[in-house]
Structure 1
Amino acid sequence: MKKDCKRKVELVVLSDIHLGTYGCRAKELLRYLKSIDPETVVLNGDIIDIWQFKKRYFPTSHMKVIKHITSLLSKKKKIYYVTGNHDEMLRKFTGFQIGTLEIVNKIVLPLDGKKAWIFHGDVFDNSVHHSKWLAKLGSIGYNFLIVINMLINVVTRLFKGGKISLSKRVKDGVKSAISHINRFEKTIAELAIQNGYDFIVCGHTHQPKLQYIADKKGQEVLYLNSGDWIENLTALEYNNQEWTIYAYANDPVAQMIDEIIPPEPEEIKLDFKIEQFYSELAEEIHVIPMNVLRAKA
């Protein structure tokens, strides 16, 4: 696919990719990224899942996503890495900039005379801050459920059945989970209205959404959530003064991109080490060495 054939997007927001976990749909994400030409990319937290990081599981498909994103730096594309709870160790490097990449905890972006308040969302989630061990345990359980779900879907495909999502059914069926998300959205909406923001852009809940939320006075703010790349395979796109929820399932061009641009052979690195991973990434974006980062920590 020629560059001028790619779909141009002013702003793309991605979150909850969870690279380094079995549930991450890296191949689908890479196809999406290869099909667009974004001006600005916001990585809104939980991009690399450090909570679930396994040194023997970081396949080439996951590395290709990172390499594609870092290749945008050489094209002078602006990239904001907004930290989340699963990659919270990066918060000690808030303010770090190299080229057009910047690590931040939150950001306010001006968009056609309006203001977008962008952050991951975990700072407003009490379960993460007051019971971190419980949140991590829940994350492990969720990841296990995703793996079981993948096996079930293999079987259902053999019998020509449709895909099912166990974790989504569990979450949708638990009223307390729905209530928790609603409180989360209401709280940040009220804060956004008080501070004069026009848009709230979050991740964290894995629930893609585009919805106006009003406070008690009837004032409204547009709440947006980019979803995830485990189950929903969604992103947020901003073009021509309009927000939309992108869904990979509804994008035949991205789904067929490998027929236009053949993918590179995939090899899983069985002897993967974090130092090796960092060295390869550093080579792409000319980041400071790992031992220097350790000295700073």
Structure 2
Amino acid sequence: MTHVECSRPSRKQRVRTLWISDVHLGTRDCQAEHLSRFLKGYQADRVYLVGDIIDGWKLRGGIYWPQAHTNVIRRLLTMSKRGTEVIYVTGNHDEFLRRYSTLVLGNIQLVDQAEHLTADGRRLLVIHGDQFDVITRYHRWLAFLGDRAYEVTLVLNRWLNHWRARYGYGYWSLSAYLKHKVKGAVNFISDFEQAITHECTRRGFHGVVCGHIHHAEIRKVGDVDYFNCGDWVESCTALIEHWDGQIELYRLAEVQQGRLGQAMPRVKEPV
């Protein structure tokens, strides 16, 4: 398993699979413009939308839906029309779609979880991950309260980066910083990873692709390959599978700064 940061391609790059999660369309902090540009740069056989693509929780309190959010939907529909298989895995913020699980519309499927077989033969469970979050499952009022606190953090983050940009500094995520520094947040992430990888081991999967906690990562947890897509609210991250089965982590911030990770040999694309 190789963790590589990738640059935005100058033309459409053919890849085997894309995974994105936690877009939260319908919220003011959704980075829809960046996501549209990212999707436009790739031609993929399959795209997994790994939950919380549409924020149903937020839309209950009022409609916020600018053109940029519609453009993301249009981009996905265009990819589907051109032959890309789009698999929408439901999450907790778009749980209203779970009543329609197993729906198939052309190249678009709606499911609660999926199995992905990589080019190098690994069986991956693809699931949003809220099922392994104790707070979301058993203390919904606390989950809503935490969601409100997260919104406050994002507002502070927005103003902070407005002033950082004015003085020539790059983007910095306050919420991501807190996740790494606050002991409770660090423990929560660790508990989540352990719970979801334990389920993979129990069910005989080689790895898992998930989202939910807005913390992009590729690493080994025991014998399980753990892949988290991150989000398109603060970090703007995605997972990309190439033709040899290697999966890499795309980070928009590092692309913008021109920092690349280790080189990864490209595999000849299929005809």
Normalising by structure 1, we get a TM-score of 0.79
Aligned position for 1:89: 96
Alpha-carbon distance, 1:170 to partner: 2.4
* Structure 2: segments with no counterpart, 5+ residues: 1-9, 257-271
- 1:166-196 Cα offsets, whole Å, 9 max, x none, are 2222222221111111111112212212322
Aligned position for 2:248: 244
One-letter code aligned to 2:228: N
Q: Structure 1 pair 161/248, CA: closer, same or farther in 2 (3 Å)?
A: closer
Match of 1:44 among 42, 45, 50: 50
Alpha-carbon distance, 1:145 to partner: 1.9
One-letter code aligned to 1:71: T
One-letter code aligned to 1:130: Y
- Displaced runs of 4 or more, over 3 A: none
Match of 1:19 among 22, 25, 38: 25
Alpha-carbon distance, 1:12 to partner: 0.3
Distance (Å, rounded) in 1 between the aligned partners of 2:103 and 2:23: 22
One-letter code aligned to 2:57: W
More helix by share: 1
Aligned position for 1:122: 130
One-letter code aligned to 1:101: I
Q: How do residues 1-297 of structure 1 correspond to structure 2 at under 5 angstroms?
A: 5-53=11-59, 55-112=62-119, 113-214=121-222, 220-239=223-242, 240-251=244-255
Alpha-carbon distance, 1:119 to partner: 0.1
SS of the residue 2:239 aligns to? strand
One-letter code aligned to 2:251: A
Aligned position for 1:284: none
Distance (Å, rounded) in 2 between the aligned partners of 1:160 and 1:225: 31
> Rg bigger for which structure?
1
Alpha-carbon distance, 1:221 to partner: 1.1
Alpha-carbon distance, 1:197 to partner: 0.9
Q: Structure 1 pair 56/186, CA: closer, same or farther in 2 (3 Å)?
A: closer
Aligned position for 2:7: none
Distance (Å, rounded) in 1 between the aligned partners of 2:12 and 2:171: 30
Distance (Å, rounded) in 1 between the aligned partners of 2:115 and 2:12: 28
One-letter code aligned to 1:244: E
One-letter code aligned to 1:81: Y
Alpha-carbon distance, 1:118 to partner: 0.5
Q: 2:200–2:224: 8 Å Cα contact kept in structure 1?
A: yes
Segment drifting more, 174-183 vs 85-94: 174-183
- 1:221-252 Cα offsets, whole Å, 9 max, x none, are 10000001111110011112101111122336
**Between the two proteins, what is the percent identity of the paired residues?**
34
* Structure 1: segments with no counterpart, 5+ residues: 215-219, 253-297
Count of residues in correspondence between the two structures: 247
Alpha-carbon distance, 1:103 to partner: 0.5
Segment drifting more, 139-148 vs 224-233: 139-148
Distance (Å, rounded) in 1 between the aligned partners of 2:112 and 2:152: 29
Q: 1:19–1:26: 8 Å Cα contact kept in structure 2?
A: yes
Aligned position for 1:256: none
Distance (Å, rounded) in 1 between the aligned partners of 2:63 and 2:192: 35
Normalising by structure 2, we get a TM-score of 0.86
Aligned position for 2:3: none
One-letter code aligned to 1:163: Y
Q: 2:26–2:63: 8 Å Cα contact kept in structure 1?
A: no
